[in-house]
Structure 1
Amino acid sequence: MDLIPVASYARTSQDSSQGDECGVRNQHRINERTAAEHGCIVVATYTDNARNATKDDRERPAFDHLLADLHRGHAFTAGPLMGVVAVADDRLYRRPEDLVRFMAALTANPGRVYVDRDGLRDPYSKEGILDAAGSLQGAVAEGQLRSRRVRDWHWSRAMDGLPHSGPRPFGWLEDRQTLHPVESALVRQAIEDRIAGKAVAEVAREWTALGITGTRGGRPNQQTITQIITSPRVCGFRANHGELMIDPTTEKPLAGSWQVIVTPEQWSKVCATFSAGSLYMHRGPLSPRLTRRKAGPKYLASGFLRCGAELSGGDPCGQPMGGTKTAHSRRSPYNYFCNGAAGRGCGRCAISGPLVEDAIERLLFPGDGRGRVRLPEPMRLRWQSGEMGFEEKRKVIASVFSGLEIRPGRKGNSTWDYSRVVPVWKWADRVPAPDAAA
């Protein structure tokens, strides 16, 4: 009997503390075993590591890619797909809209199967649909209960004046109560300097020159330093979910149990030197700014590019490249560049924004039709006609590439060199060796 080719999907909400993707690797291992036990074979893997499936503002590029492949009927070079295997339903969906999308993709062609550790499920039958709906109801209830417990736990800790859980805050020792003698002195000086008019970028350069790193090993930059010195923690105030906790007895801000770095007056003064969108209580990728809109990328390739300039040791720089406007070029009104400020990157690599985006389009939709990927023709038409929106294009890019390395250009070369854009394909075990945009 021929084995049924299926896709293995794995997802975790959080990675392990070692960042080794152990959870998703174990899920794929179980899926391989489950598939073999029920007459199936895994021909393609899709992984969303550290991706939440409960909140509607969280992206799952591998899940989106899986649905696209199911609609198309095959997984790039892996061949036909006749089903999906997962360790549990809640790995695939925890929201009604995701269940609808998954079932529509899975049943886009006849004869498909869904496999979990309980065996084969017929997604076309009434029983199969009821099983899926029951799993969804249980997942939603479990998620709501867990979220409420976590919120109550954090609120109770805040009302007791206890510090936040998680990594230790910069400026305090591991007990989160006692001041770190070196870091707290740096924070105090930075607050005093900022109140006196010093730029945060200058503070970042000074910290970098001293070899200071964050509590997770990162280099200091303007954003992290701004968050550190505007955090209410520096003056002893306790916050939760972006709001100061108020003592119900005194109706004043609730004081924590840790040692303080500056006075509340100094904290208020340093906060006054920033716009509301820069303050600790307003930071985060999903936080509202003054416009009440979520912050998002401005340029199409933002977040995907890494600097490929060679460092002195021979390794590539590897730092993210940001986008910025250029003043005097119609052909390249904006560039992507490696930021050398505050020691975050080498600062030796920049590339035209339209060149990068043209190269990405060539990689996704090669003219000869013989590229590394085979995306649906309607998708190509919508992309190239301008019908496809900015966010949808970014989702397509995220579903195909893990990133793109930008190699340094040659001085004096006025022609566009597409080979500078080197893709890092997702699911590299299913795709031939990477190649630059031709």
Structure 2
Amino acid sequence: MTNDAQLVPVVAYARISADLAKDGHGVDDQHKVNDETASALGLKIVHYYTDNDLSAAKAGLVRPDFEAMLRTLKVGHLPDGQPVRGAIVVADDRLVRRVGDYERFVDALTYEDGRVYADAKGLKDLYNEDVESMGLFGVVIAKAEVRKIKRRTRRSHRRRAEEGIPVGGKRPFGWQDDKLTLQPEEAPHLAQAARDVIARKSLHSILAAWREQGVRTVHGNEWQSRSLKLALWNPRLCGWRKHNGELVRDASGVPVVGKWEAIITPKEWMAIDALFSTRIGPNVKADGTVTDYRTPSHLLTGILRCGKPKDDGQICNAPLRVSTRPDLSGGYVYQCQSRSMGGCGGSARNGAKVDEYVTEAVLAKLEERTAAKSQVSSEWTGQEELDRLMVKQRKMLQAWQEDQVSDELFFPENHKMESRIKELRKERTQHALQVQRASVVTENIREQWYSGKLDMAQKRALVREALHAVIVLPVGGGGRRPFNPDLLVPKWTES
């Protein structure tokens, strides 16, 4: 029997899956196999390198132990000085699956003469060019196999999406473990949240209510703004599905309906999609209006602007903030910030009186707009053009595939049609949002406002829908003056 001191010291690389790594058995069994294999070949493993559950095939993924092994092989010893004269792996496809990594491994191992390398089939001479070439060939085959697996996976996902079949993984909130049947306690929360968002209620307000009710995610965690937004933005809620960021559609361009039960209607989801898609910043939407994620306690915070002229003739324009004034009716004032905070400190108004006046002005404006919009058909007028373009696009595609249309004609025309179809779909989504909003809030808006059915976030959203800002002009003359609504100049948005 070979003396242990006569065995060649080598390092071993053993990479196993996450499932095996969770219990110690997978690691222990892997080490045992390597030890027995090494001893039979006259080798002694002096250190193990493992990158469990880190794929060798993923580009850009760093495997820390693999990199450490390369450094050890190049210098010929471990950090503690233990000599290393080679490496062993049970399966070479667990070592590398990319040509570049294989070349780096060979360069490190053969940095000095006399190094050894072994896998499950025995010792291999990596100093031999033919052996190295075979190793490279094996890496290429392994890489090609990885690509085939990825392509099969993508095709499988696409097929399942087109057939409306749920994907694997954890069940989504709102559905039971079969991912098809609604969960009776969770689904109503999502349905109500969706309608609240359409009705301009902030995510912050919805989350606060959910926390009071003890609503938790499927993992038992508290909901956060991002997770709630993603849940509401998921077309699964209305029975549709996205694949690679796009709605899955049939040959006619109609979204494919999944086999699971829907929680809301497609029109409601399209309204949510339009709402979230137009946001371009933390609280600014593409149309310039502002959405409050952290709702202020007062109606016109940030909406009132100081109109006092500065020395250069320009108005201050700083937003007015709320200050407590127990001596006034209502107990608060809207006041321009101090110079150190960017304002002039020269304007202040009774908060309760300003809120009352602006509220009535906004309600009157919204009622006026609602009356005008009620004369307009709820049907979107662009559907005929969209249908015509989609038919034309399919016919041109078929003609191109049958070589009846040249590439020079097909690609520019098809691109124009795709762009216009995308525009029309966006317009349809925006129209759905407007119709849905009108049906949810603007009917009987005055009754809803004063009955307490609207929270502060919804009221502020309605104010911002009607107003860009309200300029507060200076009273003049010094001292306290009676409240004068003529010194409040509303800047209305376009209807």
TM norm structure 2: 0.50
Deviation string 1:296-342 (CA, Å, 9 cap, x unpaired) is xxxxxxxxxxxxxxxxxxxxxxxxxxxxxxxxxxxxxxxxxxxxxxx
CA change 1:25–1:219 in 2 (3 A) is farther
Segment drifting more, 152-161 vs 16-25: 16-25
> Retained in 1: the 8 A contact 2:20–2:27?
no
Report if aligned partners of 2:21, 2:52 keep a CA contact under 8 Å in 1: no
| Structure 1 stretches of at least 4 aligned residues deviating more than 6 Å after TM superposition | none
Residue 73 in structure 1 maps to residue 76 in structure 2: yes
Matched, 1:252 2:250: no
CA distance in 2, matches of 1:277, 1:40: 63
Cα distance in 2 for residues equivalent to 1:171 and 1:253: 21
Checking the alignment, whether the CA contact within 8 Å between 2:239 and 2:259 is kept in structure 1 is: yes
Q: Which residue of 2 aligns with 1:10?
A: 14
Q: Which moved more, 1:138-147 or 1:66-75?
A: 66-75
The answer on whether the counterparts of 2:12 and 2:88 sit within 8 Å (CA) in structure 1 is yes
- Structure 1 residue 180, shift from structure 2 partner: 0.9
Shift of 1:21: 6.9
The structure-2 alpha-carbon separation of the partners of 1:79 and 1:197, relative to structure 1 and needing over 3 Å to count, comes to farther
* 1:190 maps onto 2:198 in alignment: no
Say which of 152, 162, 166 aligns to 1:149: 152
**1:111 corresponds to which residue?**
114
Equivalent residues of 1:121, 1:128 under 8 A apart? yes
The answer to whether the 8 Å contact 1:195/1:270 transfers is yes
Matched, 1:27 2:27: no
Instruction: Name the counterpart of 2:272.
Output: 270
Instruction: Tell me the amino acid that sits aligned with residue 12 of structure 2.
Output: S
What is the correspondence of 1:35-434 to structure 2 with a 5 Å cutoff? Answer: 35-77=38-80, 79-200=82-203, 203-204=206-207, 206-208=209-211, 210-248=213-251, 250-274=252-276
Secondary structure of the residue that 1:77 maps to in structure 2?
coil
Report the secondary structure of 2:140's partner residue: helix
Gaps of 5+ in 2: 281-495
CA distance in structure 1 between the partners assigned to 2:18 and 2:178 by the alignment: 24
1:179 Cα deviation (Å)? 0.8
Q: Is the 8 A contact 2:181 2:260 kept in 1?
A: yes
Pairwise CA distance, 1:177: 0.3
Change (3 A) 1:74 1:247: same
After superposition, the C-alpha distances for 1:12-70 in whole angstroms (9 at most, x for unaligned) are 4x522994476555433322222222122222222222222222133322222222332
Q: Give the whole-Å Cα distance in 1 for the aligned partners of 2:233 and 2:39.
A: 55
Task: State the alpha-carbon separation in 2 of the partners of residues 64 and 178 from structure 1.
Answer: 48
CA distance in 1, matches of 2:59, 2:98: 8
CA contact (8 A) 1:214 1:220 kept: yes
Task: Report deviation, 1:181.
Answer: 1.3
Amino acid at match of 2:70: L
Asked if structure 1 preserves the Cα contact closer than 8 Å seen for 2:91 and 2:119, the reply is yes
Letter in 1 for 2:7: L
Following the alignment from structure 1 to structure 2, what is the Cα–Cα distance between the partners of residues 20 and 112?
34
Q: Which residue type is aligned with residue 10 of structure 2?
A: V
Distance in 2 of aligned mates of 1:150 and 1:40: 40
Q: Distance in 2 between matches of 1:22 and 1:222?
A: 41
What is the rounded CA distance, in whole Å, between the counterparts of 2:260 and 2:97 in structure 1?
A: 39
- Deviations 1:62-100, CA, capped at 9 Å, x for gaps: 222222332333333372322222221111111111111
Answer with 207-216 or 218-227: which moved more.
207-216
Tell me: CA distance 1:133–1:274, structure 2 relative to 1, closer, same or farther (3 Å): same
2:156 match: secondary structure: helix
Residue 47 of structure 2 aligns with an amino acid whose one-letter code is A
CA contact (8 A) 1:75 1:81 kept: yes
1:244 is displaced (CA, Å) by 1.7
Counterparts of 2:279 and 2:169, CA distance in 1:
24
Tell me, what secondary structure is at the counterpart of 1:43? strand
Q: Residues 102 and 176 from structure 1, CA distance in 2 versus in 1: closer, same or farther, beyond 3 angstroms? A: same
Supply the distance in 1 between the matched residues of 2:223 and 2:47 (Cα, whole angstroms): 40
Q: Secondary structure at the match of 1:42?
A: strand
Contact 1:15/1:21 (<8 A) preserved: no
SS of 2:18's partner is coil
Offset at residue 175 of structure 1 (A): 0.9
> In 2, are the aligned partners of 1:15 and 1:23 still within 8 Å (CA)?
no
Instruction: Check the 8 A contact 1:4/1:39 in 2, yes or no.
Output: yes
Q: How far apart are residue 140 of structure 1 and its match?
A: 1.8
Q: Which has the higher helix share?
A: 2
Give the Cα–Cα distance (whole angstroms) in 2 for the partners of residues 4 and 91 of structure 1.
23
CA distance in 2, matches of 1:276, 1:196: 16
Residues 37 and 203 of structure 1: is their aligned pair in 2 closer, same or farther, counting only changes over 3 Å?
Answer: farther
Distance 1:158 1:100, change over 3 A: same
Determine if contact 1:44/1:78 at 8 Å carries over to the other structure.
no
Letter in 1 for 2:264: V
State the percentage of identical aligned residues.
Answer: 38
| Structure 2 counterpart of 1:70, one-letter code | L
Cα 1:235–1:34 shift into 2, 3 Å:
same
Q: What's the counterpart of residue 397 of structure 1?
A: none
Residues 152, 4 of structure 1: alpha-carbon distance in 2 compared, 3 angstrom cutoff:
same
AA of the residue aligned to 1:224: S
Residues 45 and 208 of structure 1, relative CA distance in 2, 3 Å threshold? farther
The C-alpha deviation readout for 1:120-165, integer Å capped at 9, x for no partner, is 1122112330231232132123212222222222222112111112
Query: What is the distance in 2 between the residues matched to 1:45 and 1:161?
Result: 46
Letter in 2 for 1:266: E
Residues in 1 aligned to 2:275 and 2:225: alpha-carbon distance in whole angstroms: 14
